[in-house]
Amino acid sequence: MVAEGIPELVYYLGFILVNTIAIVIVLILLVSPRDRKPTPEKRAPFESGQIAVGRGRTRFIIQYYPYLLMFVVYDVVSMFLFAWALNLRSVGAAGTVPIFIFVSVLLFPLGYALKLANKPENW
């Protein structure tokens, strides 16, 4: 006897596997005849029709890095909130207080991150 939910998971993983195989096969079947010796002009990056200058991976946006950090924090917060919400009716007020404190403490770094991200001269 296996636990409830485990065979479902196997179906699901199988479904994803079948998807992958099907899409790859379709791609291989439909893949068009390739040019064996493409000219350099053909292989040049498109870049909105202009001649590419310099390295491709420049123009980095770092100003919004604080938001990325807040995403890490709030990912953790929302996973804990999910655990609380699942069992709200039996946990009741006694279990809600710690979660409430947890969320409200984590509002402070959000304020700091917003303040930093809105000042481009910091980055």
Partner 1 sequence: MVDLPPDPISMTIQIMTSPLFLKIAIFPGLASIGIIAALLTWLDRKITARVQLRIGPQYVSPLGGILQSFADLIKLAFKELIIPEKADRFFFLLAPIFGMVLGAGLIGLIPFSPETLISNLEVGLPVFLAFVTLSPTLVLLAGWSANSKYPFIGGLRSLFQQTGYEIPLWLSSIGVVMMAGSFNLSKIVQAQSTGYVLFGVHWWFIVPQILGAIIFLVTSVAEQERIPFDLPEAEPEIIMGWQAEYPGFLFLAAQGAGFIKLYAFSALFTTIYLGGYLGPGPLPPLFWSIFKTTVMVVVVILLRGAFGRVRLDQLLRYGWTLLLGLAIANIAITYFLIEGIPAI
Partner 2 sequence: MTDPAFLVIAAATVIGAILAIEARDLVYGAAALGITFLGVAGLFILLDATYVAAFQIAVYIGAVVVLILFTVMLVGPVKGEAPIEHRRTSLMTAILVSLMLGIGGSLVSSNAFPGVDACGASCDLQLLSQTLLLGSGSNGGYAIQLELLSFVLVAAVIGALTLAKTERKA
Partner 3 sequence: MEPLSSFFAVSIILLAVGLFGMTTKRSAIRILFSVELVYNAANLNIIAFSRLRNPPLITGQIIVLFSISLAAMEAAVGLAIIILAFRLNSDIDLRKLNKLKG
What string marks each residue from 25 to 54 as x (binds partner 1 by CB under 8 A) or -? --x--xxxxxx--x-x-xxxxxxx---x--
CA distance 7 to 62: 44
CB of 68 to partner 3, least distance (A): 9
Residue 56 has what DSSP assignment? S
Closer Cβ to partner 2, 47 or 78, answer by number? 78
CB of 72 to partner 3, least distance (A): 5
CA dihedral over 88, 90, 94, 99, signed as positive or negative? negative
CA distance 110 to 77: 12
Whether the CB-CB separation of 64 and 120 falls below 8 Å is answered with no
**Residue pointed to by tokens 């005849």:** 33
Q: Is 3 in the site for partner 2 (CB under 8 A)?
A: yes
Q: Is 101 in the site for partner 1 (CB under 8 A)?
A: no
Which region among 19-27, 28-36, 46-54, 59-67 touches partner 2 (by CB under 8 A)? 59-67
Residues lying near partner 3 in the complex (CB under 8 A):
69, 72-73, 75-76, 79-80, 83
